Amino acid sequence: MGDMTSTWSPGSWRDVETAQQPEWPDDAHLGSTLETLRALPPLVFAGEARRLKEAMTKVSRGEAFVLQAGDCAESFGDFSADGIRDKLKIILQMAVVLTYASGLPVVKIGRIAGQFAKPRSSASETLDDKVLPSFRGHAVNDAAFDEASRRADPDRLVRAYQQSASTLNLIRAFTKGGFADLNQVHMWNQEFVAESRQGRRYEAMAREIDRALRFMGACGVDLSADSSLHEVDLYTSHEALILGYEEALTRQDSLTGDWYDCSAHMLWIGDRTRQLQGGHVEFLSGVENPIACKIGPSATTADLLALCERLNPRNEPGRLAFITRMGSGSIEEALPPLVRAVRDSEIEVTWICDPMHGNTFSSSGGYKTRRFDDILGEIKGFFAVHQREGTVPGGVHLELTHHAVTECLGGSEEILDTHLSERYQALCDPRLNARQSVDLAFQVGEMLQG
Ligand code: PEP
Ligand code: CO
């Protein structure tokens, strides 16, 4: 691992400056909580993270496509078996749309089972002359605007772990226990989607899939024998933000002796915490999981090359993804120099498009929102740039929900400014609702065909 091998340890991030850490009021309480976490079982296994790394290697060669999606921030309040099932439905539905259109396998990665911590632009929030610490995600504090809710509470880290464990347990049951069987393709179309135009388009596609399966069966192919038709892998991911938590779940693999952050299969560094000498880069440089780094408009080519050197010194394919989030108006100027610099240095990275975080603005009614057309526009720009530069558009990174929310504007449902107040439930950033998500999947599928 370059010249870092000798000095890296799961706790070496503590020796450098680390942005975006909460102000925990009681160090002893934090310390005992981290001890508790250290004693709890890993959420994922090293072997699974290695499998994802292999899948990411295929993605980087254009032999597969990534769908990374889920909430901006998971919630302690919105947690139920039906909710997890419906989150899974929307991801399975989008993945099958993308696969059917492109003929490529889709690597499914949830922003799920651990996405509980948020970086903030400002450490405090002011409302009616009252100043309180910002909301940092349910792993840290609560969103309600009062002193007790906003106090950072380490017990929440254990609760985040527990909710992640329960979520992952159900995901494993659903993805391996028949629910994700391709014969169930109709069942993934939840009611709110089914009654819409894109839901009917999905039904038509699902019938084609049925026909294809029947055809292969009639030709004598034993469909029951092939597990890839009956099970899927849904990998987990979140922003590795609260490093005390990530460190406590970092374990040495008994097979290889390597360190893995066993809080999720993939971890990413946010756009606000990608300082080369900062704690987040230091921490993720030493774990062997597949990792990603968000890249916003302020990133330079020198930043990217240095990040590759720190985060992927062995130039290992599948190890590092750059998730670009430039904004639909900037991507066609901002992305090409970065892509060229990495390409010309023969550096192995996977490029993923986050069309959400560069396209956020406040509506006239004061709601944080995004336009469906900007989201689609950034993805189009992303494909166009990679097409021109001869590089691989590896996937999309989306904030979405299975709920029938009104948080993002537009789409074929024409959600307008005046609709935002109807069902705005986001804990942090505005998410695509299930119809908008399926709509987007069809349109990205067409881009992949083209
Ligand atoms: C996020 O993914 O929710 C996020 C905060 O993104 P970024 O770091 O790209 O701003
Ligand atoms: Co977000």
Question: What confidence score (pLDDT) does residue 413 get?
Answer: 75
Structural tokens at position 441: 């999947």
Among candidate residues 333, 269, 337, 351, the one with its CA nearest the CA of residue 307: 269
pLDDT > 50? residue 40: yes
pLDDT digits (tens, 9 = 90+) for 82-105: 999 999 999 999 999 999 999 999
Distance between Cα 255 and ligand 2 center (Å)? 36
Question: What confidence score (pLDDT) does residue 414 get?
Answer: 84
Q: Which of 44-58, 222-236, 291-305 has the lowest mean pLDDT?
A: 222-236
Residue in the structure block whose two tokens are 């490093």: 243
Mutate to test the pocket of ligand 1, among 357, 370, 375, 400 (most ligand atoms within 8 A of CB): 357
Is the CB of residue 222 less than 8 Å from the CB of residue 95? Answer: no
Per-residue confidence band for 52, with pLDDT thresholds at 50, 70 and 90: very high
Question: What confidence score (pLDDT) does residue 306 get?
Answer: 98
Tell me the ligand closest to 397's alpha carbon: 1
Residue nearest to atom 2 of ligand 1 (CA): 72
Question: What confidence score (pLDDT) does residue 2 get?
Answer: 42
Q: How much of the chain, in percent, has pLDDT values that exceed 70?
A: 99
Is the CB of residue 65 less than 8 Å from the CB of residue 394? Answer: yes
pLDDT > 60? residue 449: yes
Q: In 103-234, which ranges are continuous DSSP H helix?
A: 147-150, 155-176, 191-194, 197-218
Question: What average pLDDT score do residues 337-357 get?
Answer: 98
CATH number of the domain enclosing 356: 3.20.20.70
Structural tokens at position 158: 């254990």
Question: What confidence score (pLDDT) does residue 450 get?
Answer: 79
DSSP 93-156: HHHHHHHHHH-S-EEEEEEBSS------SSSEEEETTEEEEPP--TTT--SSSSHHHHS--THH
Structural tokens at position 172: 């494993």
pLDDT > 90? residue 4: no
pLDDT digits (tens, 9 = 90+) for 115-157: 999 999 999 999 999 999 999 999 999 999 999 999 999 999 9
The pTM (predicted TM-score) of the whole model is 0.97
Q: Which residues surround ligand 2, an ion (CB under 5 A)?
A: 72, 429
Question: What confidence score (pLDDT) does residue 1 get?
Answer: 43
Is 8 exposed, middle or buried (CB count within 10 Å of its CB: 0-12, 13-18, 19+)? middle
pLDDT > 90? residue 303: yes
Whether the CB of 378 sits within 6 Å of ligand 1: no
DSSP 158-171: HHHHHHHHHHHHHH
Whether the CB of 238 sits within 6 Å of ligand 1: no
> Could you tell me the residue range of the domain that residue 53 belongs to?
2-449
β-sheet bridge partners, residue 108: 67, 234
pLDDT > 90? residue 6: no
pLDDT > 80? residue 262: yes
pLDDT digits (tens, 9 = 90+) for 396-448: 999 999 999 999 999 877 899 999 999 999 999 999 999 999 999 999 999 99
Q: How much of the chain, in percent, has pLDDT values that exceed 90?
A: 96
Q: How many domains are contained in the chain? A: 1
β-sheet bridge partners, residue 106: 65
pLDDT digits (tens, 9 = 90+) for 144-194: 999 999 999 999 999 999 999 999 999 999 999 999 999 999 999 998 999
Question: What confidence score (pLDDT) does residue 107 get?
Answer: 98
Distance between Cα 73 and ligand 1 center (Å)? 10
Whether the CB of 297 sits within 6 Å of ligand 1: no
Tell me the ligand closest to 298's alpha carbon: 1
DSSP 364-409: TTS-EE-BHHHHHHHHHHHHHHHHHHT--EEEEEEEB-SS----SB
Rg (C-alpha) for the chain, rounded Å, is 21
Considering the chain, what is the average pLDDT of its residues?
96
Tell me the CA end-to-end span of the chain in Å, nearest whole number: 39
